[in-house]
């Protein structure tokens, strides 16, 4: 019987009502008195020396209030990388400054070198056209291997395009090499993890405001983590004291990673607001989003898998070139390393893993974490080569995975890539997948497709990810410059309703509905009396925001801890009210009672007492009922899953259609199954997009060739099927109080290799045994070319 409230139920989302009636409040919907508009002048060349910027004409244009250039920010700080990576030789990574506005040089198409503030956006746009910028175009470098080999330099001052050359785990390198040398079978695959543009549907936007009376700044911005943005601006970029800067991330229209980071536009609108004494607003056009949002993926990898005769994995070894673009975005150095290399053992008890990653500067937009962040790249490499090995060894692809799975009795299991997986049951996931995807019925469906002249293929895949990002102690050792806890304050109001202030930010994840389910269950009260407050640094405790499937696992745990404290204090108050000792008080269904008696007080009465503390033991208990908890987990969480996909390939045209997709995931305990299923659906579409449609490309001069929806193919409704998703195989996380693992990224991690495996399978079954791999996106042109050999 499905529950109708509390943990495990699927109440309708309360936030939906405002979105469905047009009453959402996104950043661009906010209008402030006397507001002005910023428009940026952006580089049209990928690499260039700024010789001169003459703003005289622009300044004289109608409505123009100010023009800023890089020179205005030469003396302030830069936007930093949040994670220090050391190269194999112990050298720290190269960290060129990332200024608010380009100064001296522009380094990618779209790099902003000036900004105009005017009364209207149209006037600002017109004035940008009047800026006379003399920029001497230099040769650009966009190909990573060329960049490493000594092409043009993106940052002259560091003398190389290699940001770092990282080994993981360096001490395991020799053993891995030896194991590969000794193995009877070694399979090798070179693959590209295609560059993607996150494309949250709401473009980035920021409004800066300054109050000359108090000296307070306010930034409204499209952020997944208002406190992190505030910290970066305060501590590194503008030096505004944190207590003088309020960052508000109101309703945000999707993020997928791209809105984690601080961007220069945010600093610009704040500085301009101070200078003008008026609010300054900016909203990206979609073209600007393509040019300047942090992109995702963009790895070129060589992976080797060594196996025994029976398909037992002996070693994985990879060499990856990871594009970081022209500047280091905040998490760009963590993504290809600790979110990728550490997952290179997959779900397998393989004894040897060695990963080498070279991060490379190029004259392209910065690249950073995008839904899944590093883990899709790891999964893709592993699962593609396993498929290849299975085929060559003549072992069924499901069977080869099963033979190598970490077994349920091996947990906690320390993988050869150094992570300790707490729980899992990968065979159970595969069993469930076999049923739900009806794998045994594939042959009949293949025959039916063949009768229509279509080649049908089946792809399977298993994945593991590290989520609930994550333990400060661990990430600190690994180079993180921030902590990764989260925080919550539970405020029980005098009349018994509750405000829960959380550090996580909801931009589609449904926190306003799911978090109250947790609190309501714990307190035995109605969900509707609980309100979630998020997204405003002046209202919420210092939290690290939402990314890495961490909201529930980390912030939700903080909510639990704070609620525990509320119960503990309320119990004391109740004991006083009931004239009993604390130890004799039981709390159940919203009532405190004296054990073994019928004497009780309701939670609401206790709340009122806390705020009207007449006859109150003030020497023992403070008035009020409000508690804060910071939660820092002991480990990552490890969701895992098994996916299957069936495709039809048209042999005439190379068009691939996804016919069936089944995703079986272990997310540990599930709070709201409806929301969890929705998260998987969205991830699957993004993964299908990566596999079949999406690809961001630059030409050799650094011109972006996919800068609008005309040339960057987003998955549409008729590109995807109804999905079958399941999360009934649950091995709860052992180290957080809810036993939850996180579900936001799974779909995007597990689906790309599933699809490519299916397409290769279709072609192989169709007699094209020469096709062992096709690089994503699997466009009709690429599939057709592969078929021709």
Partner 1 sequence: MAKVSMTVNGAAASGEVEGRTLLVEFLRGPLGLTGTHVGCDTSQCGACVVHVNGEAVKACTMFAAEADGAEVRTIEGMANADGSLGVIQQAFQDHHGLQCGFCTPGMVMSAAALLKDNPKPTEAEVRKYLEGNICRCTGYHNIVKAIMAASGQDVSAIAAE
Cα–Cα distance measured from residue 703 to residue 503, given in angstroms and rounded to the nearest whole number:
39
Q: How far is the CB of 720 from partner 1 (least distance, A)?
A: 6
Among residues 599, 578, 601, 579, which one has the least CA distance to residue 591?
601
- Polymer length of the chain: 789
Residue 26 touches which of partner 1, ligand FES, none (Cβ within 5-8 Å per kind): partner 1
> In which residue are the tokens 């590093």 written?
374
**Binding footprint of partner 1, residue count (CB under 8 A):** 65
Beta bridge mates, 531: 499
- Here's the x/- map for ligand FES, 625-644, by CB under 6 A: it reads as --------------------
Cβ(273)–Cβ(212) below 8 Å: no
The nearer residue to partner 1, 12 or 614, going by C-beta atoms, is: 12
709 is a site residue for partner 1 (CB under 8 A): yes
| Residue 520: half-sphere exposure toward Cβ, Cα within 13 Å | 22
Q: How far is the CB of 277 from partner 1 (least distance, A)?
A: 23
Determine, following the binding rule CB under 8 A, whether residue 29 of this chain makes contact with partner 1.
Answer: yes
* Nearest one of 605, 584, 566 to 593, comparing CA atoms: 584
Q: Cβ contacts of residue 561 below 8 Å, gap of 6+? A: 488, 629, 631, 737
Q: From residue 508 to residue 537, what is the string marking binding to ligand FES with x (rule CB under 6 A)?
A: x-----------------------------
Give the DSSP H/E element, type plus range, for residue 192: strand 185-193
Concatenated DSSP letters for 445-465?
A: HHHHHHHTT-EEEEEEEEEE-
Please compute Rg for the chain using Cα positions.
27
How is residue 524 written in tokens? Answer: 């035995």
Q: Taking CB under 6 A as the rule, does residue 201 contact ligand FES?
A: yes
Q: Is 202 in the site for partner 1 (CB under 8 A)?
A: yes
Judged by CB under 8 A, the residue of 90, 722, 788, 789 near partner 1 is 722
Do residues 228 and 487 touch, judged by C-beta distance below 8 A? no
Looking at 6, 28, 278, 324, which residue binds partner 1 (CB under 8 A)?
28
If the CB atoms of residues 80 and 747 are measured against partner 1, the closer one turns out to be 747
Concatenated DSSP letters for 514-527?
Answer: HHHHHHHHHHTS-G
In the bound state with partner 1, the residue whose beta carbon lies nearer, of 121 and 169, is: 121
Stretch 463-502: interaction string toward ligand FES, x if CB under 6 A: ----------------------------------------
Any contact of residue 716 with partner 1 (CB under 8 A)?
A: yes
Smallest distance from partner 1 to CB 677, Å: 4
Rounded CA-CA distance 326/235 in Å is 23
Which tokens is 17 given? 């009502």
Q: Out of partner 1, ligand FES, none, which partner does residue 683 contact, by CB within 5 to 8 A per kind?
A: partner 1
Task: Indicate which single residue of 8, 63, 254, 604 sits in contact with ligand FES (rule: CB under 6 A).
Answer: 254
Q: How far is it, in rounded angstroms, from Cα 370 to Cα 181?
A: 36
32 touching partner 1, by CB under 8 A: no
Using CB under 6 A as the binding rule, whether residue 785 contacts ligand FES is answered as no
DSSP-based three-state secondary structure for 153 = coil
DSSP 628-696: EEEE--SS-B--EEEEEEEEEE-TTT--EEEEEEEEEEE-BS-S-HHHHHHHHHHHHHHHHIIIII---
Residue 195 near residue 296 (C-beta atoms within 8 A): yes
Min dist CB 126 to partner 1, Å, is 11
20 binds partner 1 (CB under 8 A): yes
Stretch 681-700: interaction string toward partner 1, x if CB under 8 A: xxxxxx--------------
13 contributes a contact to partner 1 by CB under 8 A: yes
For tokens 């969890």, name the residue: 676
State which residue, 20 or 74, has the beta carbon closest to partner 1.
Answer: 20
Query: Measured from the CB of residue 680, what is the shortest distance to partner 1 in angstroms?
Result: 8
Minimum distance from residue 32 beta carbon to partner 1 (Å): 13
**CA nearest neighbour of 274 among 300, 240, 301:** 240
Q: Using N-to-C axis directions, what is the helix angle for 557-577 and 603-611, rounded to 10°?
A: 80
Q: Which does 131 bind (CB under 5 to 8 A by kind): ligand FES, partner 1, none?
A: none
Q: Which is nearer to partner 1, 266 or 512 (CB)?
A: 512
8-state DSSP, 387: H
Give the residue with the Cβ less far from ligand FES, 15 or 646.
15
**Interacting residue ranges for partner 1, rule: CB under 8 A:** 10, 12-13, 15-26, 28-29, 31, 122, 199-203, 251-254, 256, 283, 285-287, 507-510, 673-678, 680-686, 708-710, 714-718, 720, 722-726, 747
**Interacting residue ranges for ligand FES, rule: CB under 6 A:** 201, 253-254, 508
């Amino acid at each position: 019987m499905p529950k109708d409230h509390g943990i495990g139920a699927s109440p309708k989302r309360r936030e939906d009502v405002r979105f469905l009636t047009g009453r959402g409040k996104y950043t661009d919907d906010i209008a402030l008195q006397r507001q002005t508009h910023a428009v940026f002048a952006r580089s049209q060349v990928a690499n260039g020396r700024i010789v001169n910027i003459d703003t005289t004409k622009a300044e004289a244009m109608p409505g123009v209030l100010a023009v800023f250039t890089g020179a205005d920010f030469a003396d302030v700080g830069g936007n930093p990388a949040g994670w220090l990576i050391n190269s194999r030789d112990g050298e720290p990574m190269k960290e060129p400054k990332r200024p608010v506005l380009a100064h001296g040089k522009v380094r990618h198409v779209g790099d902003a070198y000036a900004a105009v503030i005017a009364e209207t956006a149209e006037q600002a746009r017109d004035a940008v056209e009047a800026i006379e910028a003399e920029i001497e175009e230099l040769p650009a470098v966009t190909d990573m291997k060329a960049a490493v080999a000594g092409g043009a330099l993106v940052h002259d001052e560091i003398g190389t395009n290699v940001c770092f050359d990282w080994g993981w785990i360096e001490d395991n390198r020799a053993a891995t090499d030896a194991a590969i040398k000794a193995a009877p079978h070694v399979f090798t695959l070179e693959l590209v993890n295609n560059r993607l543009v996150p494309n949250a549907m709401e473009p980035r936007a920021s409004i800066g405001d300054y109050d000359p009376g108090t000296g307070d700044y306010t930034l409204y911005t499209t952020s997944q983590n208002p406190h992190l943005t505030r910290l970066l601006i305060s501590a590194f970029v503008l030096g505004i004291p944190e207590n003088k800067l309020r960052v508000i991330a109101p309703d945000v229209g999707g993020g997928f990673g791209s809105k984690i980071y601080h961007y220069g536009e945010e600093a610009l609108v704040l500085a301009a607001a101070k200078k003008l004494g008026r609010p300054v607003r900016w909203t990206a056009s979609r073209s600007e989003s393509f040019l300047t949002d942090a992109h995702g993926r963009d790895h070129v990898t060589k992976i080797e898998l060594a196996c025994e005769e029976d398909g037992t994995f002996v070693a994985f070894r990879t060499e990856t070139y990871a594009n970081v673009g022209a500047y280091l975005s905040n998490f760009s150095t963590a993504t290809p390393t600790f979110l990728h290399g550490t997952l290179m053992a997959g779900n397998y008890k393989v004894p040897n893993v060695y990963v080498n990653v070279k991060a490379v500067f190029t004259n392209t937009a910065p690249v950073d974490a995008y839904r899944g962040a590093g883990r899709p790249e790891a999964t893709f490499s592993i699962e593609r080569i396993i498929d290849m090995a299975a085929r060559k060894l003549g072992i069924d692809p499901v069977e080869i995975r099963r033979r190598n799975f970490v077994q349920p009795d091996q947990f906690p299991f320390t993988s050869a890539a150094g992570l300790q997986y707490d729980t899992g049951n990968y065979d159970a996931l595969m069993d469930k997948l076999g049923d739900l995807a009806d794998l045994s019925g594939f042959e009949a469906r293949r025959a039916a497709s063949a009768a229509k002249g279509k080649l049908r293929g089946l792809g399977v895949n298993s994945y593991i990810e590290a989520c609930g990002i994550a333990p400060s102690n661990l990430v600190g050792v690994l180079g993180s410059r921030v902590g990764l806890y989260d925080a919550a304050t539970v405020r029980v109001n005098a009349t018994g309703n509750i405000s829960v202030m959380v550090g996580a930010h909801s931009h589609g994840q449904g926190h306003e509905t799911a978090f109250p389910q947790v609190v309501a269950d714990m307190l035995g009260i109605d969900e509707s009396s609980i309100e979630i407050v998020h997204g405003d640094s002046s209202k919420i405790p210092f939290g690290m925001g939402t990314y890495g499937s961490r909201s529930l696992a980390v912030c939700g745990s903080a909510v639990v801890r704070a609620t525990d404290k509320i119960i503990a204090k309320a119990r004391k108050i109740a004991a006083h009210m009931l004239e009993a000792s604390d130890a004799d008080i039981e709390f159940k269904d919203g009532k405190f009672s004296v054990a073994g008696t019928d004497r009780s007080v309701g939670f609401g009465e206790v709340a009122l007492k806390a705020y009207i503390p007449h006859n109150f033991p003030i020497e023992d208990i403070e008035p009020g009922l409000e508690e804060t908890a910071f939660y820092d987990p002991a480990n990552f969480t490890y969701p895992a899953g098994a996916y299957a996909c069936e495709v039809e390939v048209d042999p005439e045209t190379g068009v691939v259609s996804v016919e069936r997709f089944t995703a079986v995931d272990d997310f540990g305990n599930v709070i709201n199954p409806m929301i969890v299923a929705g998260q998987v659906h969205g991830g699957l579409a993004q993964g299908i997009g990566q596999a079949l449609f999406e690809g961001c490309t630059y030409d050799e001069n650094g011109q972006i060739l996919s800068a609008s929806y005309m040339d960057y193919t987003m998955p549409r409704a008729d590109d995807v099927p109804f999905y079958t998703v399941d999360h009934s195989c649950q091995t709860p996380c052992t180290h957080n109080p809810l036993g939850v693992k996180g579900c936001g990224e799974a779909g995007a991690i597990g689906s790309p290799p599933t699809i490519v495996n299916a397409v290769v399978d279709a072609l192989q079954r169709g007699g094209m045994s020469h096709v062992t791999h096709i690089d994503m996106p699997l466009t009709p042109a690429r599939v057709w070319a592969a078929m021709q050999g």
